[in-house]
């Protein structure tokens, strides 16, 4: 086992990365998100969007919003 085999976390931008830049759809990312859920790997949205915008998006995506933090 590798010495750095700790917990995995995925960080992702939204516009043009997780979300389609024209439609804001996350359909193309859904297989990857499902795999992360199945494996218990957390993922973090890295964005300049407001907390309110992120909470609405996560609710629409069916993701837990309890851990959303605003900096």
Cα separation of 71 and 31, whole Å?
29
DSSP-derived letter for residue 70 is -
64 is catalytic: no
DSSP-derived letter for residue 48 is S
> Is residue 58 helix, strand or coil?
helix
Backbone angles phi, psi at 57, to 5 degrees: -60, -45
**Active-site pick, 13, 15, 20, 64:** 13
Which residues belong to the active site? 13
């Amino acid at each position: 086992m590798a010495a750095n085999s700790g917990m995995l976390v995925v960080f992702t931008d939204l516009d043009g990365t997780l979300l389609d830049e024209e439609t804001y759809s996350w359909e193309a990312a859904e297989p990857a998100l499902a795999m992360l859920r199945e494996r218990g790997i957390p993922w973090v949205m890295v964005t300049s969007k407001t907390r309110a915008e992120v909470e609405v998006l996560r609710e629409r995506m069916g993701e837990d919003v309890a851990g959303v933090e605003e900096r």
